[in-house]
A and B are shown apart, each in its own frame.
Chain A
Amino acid sequence: MATQQVSTRIDALPRTILHRPFFWIIALAIAAFVVAPTIGNDVQLRESLLLAAVYIILASNLNVMIGYAGYVNFGSIVFFGLGGYLCVWLVGRPGFPLAVAALAGGVVVSALALVFGFGVLRLRGAYFALATIGVNEGVQAFVMNFSPWGGAAGMYLSTELFAPLGGPRQALWTIYYLLVAVMGLSLYLSYGIKVSKFGLGLLAIGQNEDAAAVLGVPTRLYKALAYSATAFLPAIAGGLYYFKSAFIQPSDAFDLTFSTEAIAIVMLGGQGTIAGPAIGAFFYEELRGWLLTSDTFSHFQLVVAGALLLIIVLFLPRGLIGTAHARWPDLRRIIE
């Protein structure tokens, strides 16, 4: 019985990613992000969704390292912050257009991550996690002292730089759509990696790195590539985000709580799944907004967030989607 069931399952494997239902579910979600705030020109909703999109970008990329390869990058915010700095500086000083500056930030950060990845990824487990904290703090301490980037005071952008995007009001919409596009790319990147040969290798590394190497997975190369690939889109997002703020300073750009929030989101949604980080980010952003506006909890935002995370870690270690998958295995074929 089981034989037949399984062999038909193999024959029924979708030919390409386009044949999977989840591909289209992602597309629907992106469409919702695009359309929802235009209904009634809801600026407040747009700002809330923009933050959710940033969280989804950070969490989806982080998930490739944590959920697939099993490497806990505690300092992933360094990609976002450094991308932001490069973009703001390139737009402000040499006067690059936003798109070029953000893209350049992505490329530079990704290249740095590749070089660095080969070194730092020799470390495993908690040692790697600590090294990533060290990298983030080191970069922050450096930028604090780096006068071309304004040191601890940071850099401002003149609002005149919004002019090429059709003035400040239109620029905010444009940046929102660009960030939603980066969010879509992040989701499809993590999906594409998962169904690829590269992703299979990463999953094997996450399960048992030594066994993976003996089976032929080029572990060092794959880890460094994953580290670098997951730096690219967050760096671009950082560029767009800080261009929108027209201001960047080291204590925000390299704030470790931001990247630990991203870890919490990955855990909340379910590490290793595609939908998990996205759903986790959405819930987290909603919860955060509610805590910030609630009279009772506004002073206890950290306490509530911490207690919530502890409960997830203790009682729901697979996260929302992971737990649902364990409960209803067939769900895997629809929500991946």
Chain B
Amino acid sequence: MFGIIASIIDGVLVGSVYGLAAMGLTLIWGVMDVVNLTHGSLIVAGMFALYLLTDATGLSPYAALPAIVVGGFAVGLFLYWIAVHRMIGRPPLMSLLSTFSVNLVLVGLGTAVWGTGLFNVPVSLPGLTLQRFTFPGTHILAAVLAGVLAGCLYAFLYGTRLGKAIRAVANNRGAAELVGIPTTRVLSFAFALGAALACVSGMLIATLFPFTVLSGDAYQLKSFVVIVLGGFGNPAGALFGGIALGLVEGLATPFMPVSWILVIEFGLFVAVLVARPGGVFALRRT
């Protein structure tokens, strides 16, 4: 019995990191109606940034966090002006395709540089042992950091002028423009912020599991599942969605082979999408 509870708790810890990743995706979606298909690559970029930084400096992995936030933000700005800016306000197919093609370029460059082999970042942290079960320290710290970063994002969106401007643009771009909000700057900022979140979550995932250049797809799909559970364009919902996904994974792990969990996830994804397009935790239906 305790094993099951422990598995659930561990699932929730990891799930909160998925939630953080999905926040970046849903922020961009909500603000500019763009489904960012470079999301997976940005997660992978965070993983490899961590790998390179720790490899080069020998510092603790967690010290790399500020650098990865700044780097992710800069990459996000660059991507916005390359692939997204011209797609704003055009049919969803166009931004899907433009971000998809940038993703192809990024994956191609990644495989050319690093190949498709397995990488991992060694982290030594003491775990927390309760009875026969040990919760890895990396899982606990990653969940705490994810929670703190989610809190920061929330404080930013609701407490600052720029955050309010982002929410205003998300709500009604035309009206925001009329009251003098520089929408293009706000959009590029929001996209960069979403990219930074994806990179940071990639960095945190790299402290938990080994990864390859091609890991992005799987985590991107997980982010979609999380968003569907948490509600589109709703960053707070994404954290809950991530925790819910972690809960499902943790609950299922003791009872079935890991490979069946994917079937459940995608089944859940399609079923929820069709039955409640606004998301399980969404307050209003879109």
Contact = CB atoms under 8 A, between A and B. Distances in A.
A299 B103 CA distance: 16
B259 A141 contact: yes
Nearest to A139: B266
Given A72-B93, A129-B92, A141-B263, A120 B270 contact: yes
A66 interface: yes
B52 interface: no
B212 interface: no
Contact of B97 (A267, A299, A303): A267
Interface in A253-275: 256, 260, 263-264, 267
Nearest to A116: B270
Contacts of A302: 104-105, 107-108, 111
Contact of A72 (B92, B109, B274): B92
Interface in A103-145: 119-120, 122-123, 125-127, 129-131, 133-135, 137-138, 141-142, 144-145
Contacts of A307: 101, 105
Given A302-B104, A302-B111, 6 more contacts: A66-B93, A123-B277, A135-B270, A138-B269, A303-B112, A306-B101
Contacts of B265: 141
Interface residues of A, number: 44
Contact of B277 (A127, A134, A264): A127
B215 interface: no
Contacts of A256: 217
Interface in B223-259: 224-225, 228, 257, 259
6 contacts: A66-B93, A72-B92, A137-B266, A141-B259, A303-B108, A313-B98
A290 to B, nearest CB: 16
A317 interface: yes
A134 B259 CA distance: 16
Interface residues of B, number: 44
Contacts of B269: 134, 138
Contacts of B70: none
A127 B282 CA distance: 15
A314 interface: yes
Contacts of B225: 134
B75 interface: no
A335 interface: no
Contacts of B228: 130
B263 A138 contact: yes
B104 A72 contact: no
B262 interface: yes
Contacts of A72: 92-93, 96
B93 to A, nearest CB: 5
Contacts of B176: none
B9 interface: no
B272 to A, nearest CB: 10
A122 B221 CA distance: 21
Contacts of B29: 126
A122 B277 CA distance: 9
A143 B94 CA distance: 32
B96 A138 contact: no
Contact of B263 (A125, A145, A314): A145
A306 B273 contact: no
A142 B266 CA distance: 10
A310 interface: yes
Among A70, A127, A152, A307, the one with the most B-chain Cβ atoms within 10 Å of its Cβ is: A127
A129 B94 contact: no
